[in-house]
Amino acid sequence: GAGVSQSPSNKVTEKGKDVELRCDPISGHTALYWYRQRLGQGLEFLIYFQGNSAPDKSGLPSDRFSAERTGESVSTLTIQRTQQEDSAVYLCASSLFQGAIGEQYFGPGTRLTVT
Which residues lie near other proteins (CB under 8 A)?
Answer: 31, 33, 35, 40-45, 48, 50, 56, 59, 89, 91, 93, 98-109, 111
Gap between the Cα atoms of 96 and 85, Å rounded: 32
Closer residue to other proteins in complex, CB, 31/79: 31
Instruction: Give CA–CA dist 74/61, Å, rounded.
Output: 22
Q: Work out how close the CB of 15 gets to other proteins at its nearest, in angstroms, rounded to a whole number.
A: 24
| Residue closer to other proteins (CB basis): 11 or 111 | 111
Count how many Cα atoms sit within 13 Å of the Cα of residue 79 in the half-sphere of its side chain: 28
